[in-house]
Amino acid sequence: MPAILGQSVFDGGLEFPAMVVHRDALEHNVSTMAGFVRDHGMELAPHAKTHMSAEIAAMQLAAGAWGLTVATPRQAEAVRAFGVDRILVANQVVDPAGLTWAAHELERDPGFEFLSFADSRTGIDILAAHAGSRPFRVLAELGHEGGRAGCRTLDELLEVASYAQSTPGVELAGVAGYEGGLRTGDEVRKYLAALQEAVEHVRVKNPILTVGGSQWFDVIGRELVATQARILLRSGAYVTHDDGYYRERTPFNRIDGELRPALEVWAHVLSVPEPGLAIVGMGKRDAPYDEGLPIPRRGGVTIVKMQDQHTVVRAAGLKPGDLLAFGISHPCTAFDKWRVLPLVDRDYRVVGTISTNF
């Protein structure tokens, strides 16, 4: 335990810097997204790469999640150990060790579902070479120009889909895409239309269409409402939201509802070497910085730069030993910096822990 259950994190039992998780915000976000997908005829396969936490995964599944999404076979193994029966690897899986594990797990448990993406004949051949008695179920991935993966045209996707259907050891389950790298709603709508067309051309019984990030799920909910497929939304960052990147980009800036920031980092002022300049004992090892620096919760504090173990701030009136709170930007690179985080109530009393497995 990072602090004693029932005690305040400020009672002396918790070492700083520390990242805390606010229970009320976490529960609110899980409930909000569960309600959103339900109201829009979709299902949620939340991306567990954000948190890799058994406790948070249990909350998401209890709220009705279809299963969990991961990015790698290593993550799939970890969430399988959480007791998850449905896992979607939102990626091309080519790792022999990971595929061997997945094949063995499929053979061991007839109730286990494992899906991954494919955008090439070569990728399908790799899957087939490692398949066991149960085939690997794949989703033909449609990308877009400049995107990270996926077939670039419908004809390419249909060729990959046809090849998957004719390859022993592989079973085509539907179509996959990722719209998170697109910049405008018009671009997203055009891309979603292409995904819908792909689903219509892929001859699969009860096809799956999976999309998703945390920036455009409102557009997805509107555009895919009439699609004849099971829609799996893979949003992940929503679960703790943030005070920076996703605060600016959440669809709830455009539609009714809200997500609440659930993560907060507390750290001591270590030194005030010059007037108005302070060194805080929080660095890149403690808080994310890839999509924006942390956000000071105290007025008049400005971050100058972050280093490995320190953050340089400008502020008046600080002294060594002062505790400062910071919101974070981009939760997907926050959890991996911690193995156990205190779960706190509104009064910062510890009511549980959140563990991670990266």
DSSP string computed for 246-268: HHHH-GGGTSS------EEEEEE
Q: What does each C-alpha distance from 117 to 41, 151, 173, 229 come to in angstroms?
A: 23, 11, 10, 17
For 24, phi then psi, to 5°, come to: -60, -45
**pLDDT score for 1:** 47
Query: 147 and 181 in contact (C-beta within 8 Å)?
Result: yes
Q: How far is C-alpha 350 from the geometric centre of its chain's CA atoms? A: 25
Q: How many CA atoms lie within 13 A of 338 on its CB side?
A: 32
pLDDT tens sequence for the chain (358 residues): 456 899 999 998 899 999 999 999 999 999 999 999 999 999 999 999 999 999 999 999 999 999 999 999 999 999 999 999 999 999 999 999 999 999 999 999 999 999 999 999 999 999 999 999 999 999 999 999 999 899 999 999 999 999 999 999 999 999 999 999 999 999 999 999 999 999 999 989 999 999 987 999 999 999 998 899 999 999 999 999 999 999 999 999 999 999 999 999 999 999 999 999 999 999 999 999 999 999 999 999 999 999 999 999 999 999 999 999 999 999 999 999 999 999 999 999 999 999 999 9
Start-to-end CA span in the chain (Å): 18
Per-residue DSSP letter, 3: S
Q: Which two tokens stand for residue 92?
A: 């091309």
Q: How far is C-alpha 160 from the geometric centre of its chain's CA atoms? A: 27
Torsion sign (Cα): 66, 70, 71, 73: negative
Query: 314 and 280 in contact (C-beta within 8 Å)?
Result: no
Q: How many CA atoms lie within 13 A of 246 on its CB side?
A: 30
Q: Which two tokens stand for residue 226?
A: 């009439």
Nearest to 194 by CA among 263, 140, 257: 140
Amino acid type, 147: G
The three-state DSSP-derived secondary structure of 20-56 is: EEEHHHHHHHHHHHHHHHHHCCCEECCECCCCCCHHH
Query: 264 and 348 in contact (C-beta within 8 Å)?
Result: no
pTM for the full predicted model: 0.96
Nearest to 169 by CA among 136, 214, 123: 136
Per-residue DSSP letter, 40: T
Domains of the chain: 7-20+258-355 (2.40.37.20), 23-246 (3.20.20.10)
Three-state secondary-structure class, residue 240? coil
CB atoms within 10 A of CB 121: 13
